[in-house]
Structure 1
Amino acid sequence: MTNLSDGGTMEIAQKTLLAKTSRLPAFGPFDVLFALILAAGAAYALHAFGEYMDIYERAILVCTVPAAAAFGWYWKPMRVFLLACAAVALIAVGLYQGQLVRADEVFLLKYFVSSQTAIMWMSATVFLSTAAYWLGMLARSTFFERSGTVLAWIAAGAGFTGMLVRWYESYLIGTDVGHIPVSNLYEVFVLFTVLTTLMYLFYESRYATRRMGAFVMLVISAAVGFLLWYSFSRDAHEIQPLIPALQSYWMKIHVPANFIGYGAFAMSAMVGAAYLLASKGILTSRLPSLQVLDDVMYRAISIGFAFFTIATILGALWAAEAWGTYWQWDPKETWALIVWLNYATWLHMRLTKGLRGAVLAWWALIGLLVTTFAFLGVNMYLSGLHSYGSL
């Protein structure tokens, strides 16, 4: 067990850091305006598209408003991000004029804001952001570090806008085809990229350091690499109708909750890798302190564990409705339980046993391998009730 506290100075510094990152922001007039804009948008969506929604989908939409407003208050940049993505998506919707064929005819759609083009921009800027963060860290360049941040924001915005436009495009194909774009590997890898990038940017702003970006963006780049391979080798970007097993309102909340968990676990693993290098004297002067890395790793796993727990419960409720039982020891369910137990034990060892340092960093890094197998490996090598997600 490694004790990170080295005398009273370290303990005071750590407490000061925790107090700073936990402080709630002030509530101002722009927060009220943001909430009103969200409410107006939800009201318009209910008026224009309410006939296509069941009562559960309407409830999800309504509940999204206070949740997004609260998050926008807690993290101010999210207000600009959401409004900008919504504005660009609305421009794209207007350019389509109800005809999907215009995606290849209108300049802005073809090269910028159709779903596939926006996702390609996301992919390119993720790679560029990763390179900028690494250049910034190795060359100690503030310019490249800031460029990495800007490019990461652009990547997240392009990906989220692409998802919103893809949602609309699916309805242009047919009302029976239209669905929220979280139904296959292609779509959920876009979701993973957006969520994990935003999660990293949140911690970057909270801890006022860009020095974790080089490591966290690596795992996001790996996800984008898989996304591109999967898209070009399987034509996965083509919008397909939902299979009956996925035609449920549960999918709209179960999948995003799951991928907040996956993104948080991936981020914690990369922060753990940075911790291990810094603890060995490698890149020590170019990385945040061990205290910061340890705290970010802990907070990411805590958030991931909370959302993964919620997703598992939602999945059980969905299973009860679809298959008549909450749990069947399907390979996907079994490995989800393994992932849950892994991080539950991680948190238990830290919170009740006081474990710190390299052991937990290695644990977080290995945990990513377990999580990756639970998500991809099960689809590739095992079969069961979740086989509709296979490669």
Structure 2
Amino acid sequence: MKANNSMAQTWFAQRDLYDWVYASAIFAGAMFALLRFGAYMDGYEKAILLCAAPSFAWLGWVWRPMRWLFPLTAALALIGIFQYGGTLEAAKQRFLLKWFLSSQSAILWMAVLFCLSTVFYWIGLLGRSESAQAIGARLCWGAVVLGVTGMLVRWYESYLLGSDVGHIPISNLYEVFILFALITAMFYLHYESYYQTRQMGAFVLLIIAAAVGFLLWYTVARDAAEIQPLVPALQSWWMKIHVPANFIGYGTFALAAMVACAWLLKNAGILADRLPPLEVLDDVMYKAISVGFAFFTIATILGALWAAEAWGGYWSWDPKETWALIVWLNYAAWLHLRLVGGLRGKLAAWWAVIGLLVTTFAFLGVNMFLSGLHSYGKL
């Protein structure tokens, strides 16, 4: 116990002035949000906000880019919000909103930057150009900034439609595809920084670009960018924690699968001199699946609690629930064989790739081809 206390004291003692300024700003922002918008929140939402503040402060301490990402996106979102002046019509009239800071404009810029980032990562990988890969990384960060800004502004826009319409923007396929792209990109950028290599970016950005491509098609074909009131089944505070936890799982599983593709190519001698060592790729794959499994487990438990409140039972073998269980069992088996049986190499990589197909069906296929209690998520 004394050793643990000593380690905690040492860790806090290592925080510099910028760490404490950042943490203070996060808590000040949370207090402002509570005072300014507390009237629109119930007790659960206030608790989520108060728990999020120390979580974001800690995240900024352990991963330094968060210390500028959170303040920058908050500042851009506030600039956009103040431009509205209380009416959505301002998005068509004011220059900053029309071209940059309305939710639709910011999200379209996000899509463009993610696609450009993919191109530059591939130019850098194939041409052994560190400068091209550095541009790809900066474009990826730019996409994250604009994507987060767009989501925050969209949250505000929903309240301009009416206090009974306003909701966190994670309620439909349009919004969760943005969430998926942002989560996957942020986890990748963390691993890129941690392992000091940008050579995985070409592969991971492919899955993000694919999500962005679907998002653009969905926007045009279904007019999906329009903000809609929540269906009754989603009018719950459970959504605010269940959906993000779920998509941390989806995003990290997708990241692991794309890194597994890089592993398989390097092992086959394709791009072998351009990719990181197999040990690094294997370690990223393992860590991504471990994080994803932990959050997917939490999301599944939260989903069961939500189901009990909404439908009167923890589990109903709805197609979405059944396929969520299949995904969970798939990665549980992968991790079990990894930790107990020493699963490595080609089998582990192929399993991670196939796992992405299973996860994709659970995410999209169920919505497209099966019906059930989650039918509000259909394409």
- CA distance 1:131–1:278, change in 2 (3 Å): same
Equivalent residue, structure 1, for 2:266 = 278
Equivalent residue, structure 2, for 1:211 = 199
- CA distance 1:62–1:36, change in 2 (3 Å): same
Equivalent residue, structure 2, for 1:230 = 218
Structure-to-structure mapping, 1:77-226, within 5 angstroms: 77-226=65-214
- CA distance 1:362–1:110, change in 2 (3 Å): same
Q: Percent sequence identity over matched residues?
A: 66
- 2: CA distance, partners of 1:355 / 1:169: 48
What amino acid maps onto 1:230 in structure 2? Y
Deviations 1:192-248 (A, max 9, x none): 111110010000000000000000000000000000000100000000000110000
- 2: CA distance, partners of 1:338 / 1:29: 47
Among 36, 43, 47, the alignment partner of 1:48 is 36
Specify the SS of the correspondent of 1:238.
Answer: coil
In the TM superposition, what is the alpha-carbon distance from 1:27 to its structure 2 partner? Answer: 2.0
Equivalent residue, structure 2, for 1:11 = none
TM-score, structure 2 normalization? 0.96
- 1: CA distance, partners of 2:12 / 2:216: 39
Equivalent residue, structure 2, for 1:293 = 281
Tell me if structure 2 keeps the 8 A contact 1:189–1:224. yes
Tell me if structure 2 keeps the 8 A contact 1:24–1:74. no
- The unaligned stretches of length 5 or more in structure 1 are 1-22
What amino acid maps onto 1:296 in structure 2? V
Equivalent residue, structure 1, for 2:362 = 374
In the TM superposition, what is the alpha-carbon distance from 1:143 to its structure 2 partner? Answer: 0.9
TM-score, structure 1 normalization? 0.93
In the TM superposition, what is the alpha-carbon distance from 1:99 to its structure 2 partner? Answer: 1.1
Specify the SS of the correspondent of 1:285.
Answer: coil
Structure-to-structure mapping, 1:205-354, within 5 angstroms: 205-354=193-342
In the TM superposition, what is the alpha-carbon distance from 1:25 to its structure 2 partner? Answer: 11
In the TM superposition, what is the alpha-carbon distance from 1:24 to its structure 2 partner? Answer: 11
What amino acid maps onto 2:296 in structure 1? F
- 1: CA distance, partners of 2:214 / 2:223: 13
Among 354, 362, 365, the alignment partner of 2:350 is 362
- 2: CA distance, partners of 1:106 / 1:26: 46
Deviations 1:274-319 (A, max 9, x none): 0000001110110000000000000000000000000000000000
- 1: CA distance, partners of 2:315 / 2:291: 24
> Structure 1 runs of 4+ off > 6 angstroms?
none
- CA distance 1:191–1:140, change in 2 (3 Å): same
Deviations 1:130-158 (A, max 9, x none): 00000001111111000000000001111
- The unaligned stretches of length 5 or more in structure 2 are 1-10
In the TM superposition, what is the alpha-carbon distance from 1:88 to its structure 2 partner? Answer: 0.2
- 1: CA distance, partners of 2:14 / 2:56: 16
Deviations 1:333-360 (A, max 9, x none): 0000000000000001111001101100
Give the number of the structure with larger relative contact order, counting CA–CA contacts within 8 Å between residues 6 or more apart.
Answer: 1
Tell me if structure 2 keeps the 8 A contact 1:95–1:109. yes
Deviations 1:50-94 (A, max 9, x none): 111000000000000000000100000011011100000000011
What amino acid maps onto 1:351 in structure 2? L
- CA distance 1:299–1:26, change in 2 (3 Å): farther
Tell me if structure 2 keeps the 8 A contact 1:25–1:73. no
In the TM superposition, what is the alpha-carbon distance from 1:166 to its structure 2 partner? Answer: 0.1
Specify the SS of the correspondent of 2:89.
Answer: helix
- 2: CA distance, partners of 1:351 / 1:126: 35
- 2: CA distance, partners of 1:160 / 1:335: 29
- 1: CA distance, partners of 2:69 / 2:193: 14
- 1: CA distance, partners of 2:199 / 2:161: 44
Among 54, 61, 66, the alignment partner of 1:66 is 54
- CA distance 1:24–1:75, change in 2 (3 Å): farther
- 1: CA distance, partners of 2:264 / 2:179: 29
In the TM superposition, what is the alpha-carbon distance from 1:28 to its structure 2 partner? Answer: 1.5
What RMSD in Å do the two structures reach over aligned CA positions?
Answer: 1.1
